[in-house]
Amino acid sequence: MSDARPALTLLTEEESAFREAVREFAESTIKPRVAAMDRAATMDPEVIQACFDMGLMSVEVPEQYGGQGGTFFMAILAIEELARVDPAVSVMVDVQTTLVQNMILRWGSEEIKQWILPQISKDKVAAYCLSEAGSGSDAFALACEAREDGDAYVLDGHKLWITNAGEAEFFAVFATVDKSLRHRGITCFLVEREQKGFSVSKKEDKLGIRASSTCEILLEGVRVPKSRILGEVGKGYKVAIETLNEGRIGIGAQMVGLARGAFEGALAYVQERKQFGRPIGENQGVQFQLAEMAARIRAARLLVWDAARRRDAGEPFLTEAAYAKLVASRAAEYVASEAVNLFGGNGFTKEYPIEKFYRDAKIGQIYEGTTNMQLQTIAKQLLGGATLP
């Protein structure tokens, strides 16, 4: 009697077809431009528009607002597949979808949705502006101020480490209406690039994901109508926290895709590269390295997918998102490093794409919540009575 069992279905037919379409798009449209974009530290405008045309910049936005009407999980699949080819393009899409659009869909008024969603679904990039020089992991120690003035608020301050800032036309800016209230004074404002007093300043010269722009934002007397407040005055901390929980799943997906790209490159290389008269992949030591890499990727992916499924199902996912980002970011750094080792000297040169995956991986343990912050989140939940699933 056979004990064979059918494989567990992790993806629906629609999701599988979508993933394959994104993979093909990444290979045909993005891959030929990756090296040039990395060298220039600039996102190719044709790549940006191609992502819009493919619907990747609006996966979860309802069709009535010009989006694709898909699920959060499908956006996560897209982020993973893009990162397999270029993590820089992946994070551009990630910020647009899991952060900005999700935030607007949940907290925006109907007026705001009708105003901004069609634009950031068609051809306008958006950015999420929370971090400042004195507020990183302590996200709500904001110095950026918003002063009430009639039917508007006037914003003054500056933001750092803003992803997509170089290309964005819309910015979700977090500022405090009263520093003494600390997190209870935080409010989210939607600002347009062309507004008086708003400017994109210094662009960071980064180690990795170089094609993804990361810039400083200056706000000098920027007047924002009260109708452009996302959520309510003083509720910006809640907007940010809930959005970042989703964003961490997106970063987890980015890191899984990055690890897959590095692993697949290494797997092919060890079957071609010969030493002592045979492919190095025939050596047991190399085989063990590959097996360890594959196991970490698989574990990370399952955690990411689990968190995304819980989010779509309306279940709590705070701890699951922390697990996903923690494990995926560590897996990406480990796998990319091992891939460089397997390539040997070739892995240390820009002739091969492996060194870029290695550089790109480091940011995974830093942005959208450092590794220590994920550990703190998990530990708090455990000490509060949470159990392992």
CB of 120 closer than 8 Å to CB of 58: yes
CB of 217 closer than 8 Å to CB of 244: no
The set of residues, in sequence order, having a beta carbon less than 8 Å from that of 28 and lying 6+ positions away, is none
Q: How far, in Å, CA of 305 to CA of 321, rounded?
A: 10
CB of 335 closer than 8 Å to CB of 262: yes
The set of residues, in sequence order, having a beta carbon less than 8 Å from that of 182 and lying 6+ positions away, is 140, 141
Rg of the chain in Å (alpha carbons): 21
368 is known as an active-site residue: yes
Closest CA to 208 of 115, 83, 28, 24: 83
Query: DSSP 3-state assignment of 230?
Result: strand
- Annotated catalytic residue, options 80, 167, 320, 368: 368
Exposure b/e, 298-334, CB count within 10 A at least 16 = b = eebbebbbbbbbbbeeeeebbbbbbbbbbbbbbbbbb
List the helix and strand counts (H, then E) for the chain: 12, 10
Strand partners, 188: 174, 230
CB of 113 closer than 8 Å to CB of 105: yes
**Count of residues making up the chain:** 389
Q: Which residues are catalytic?
A: 368
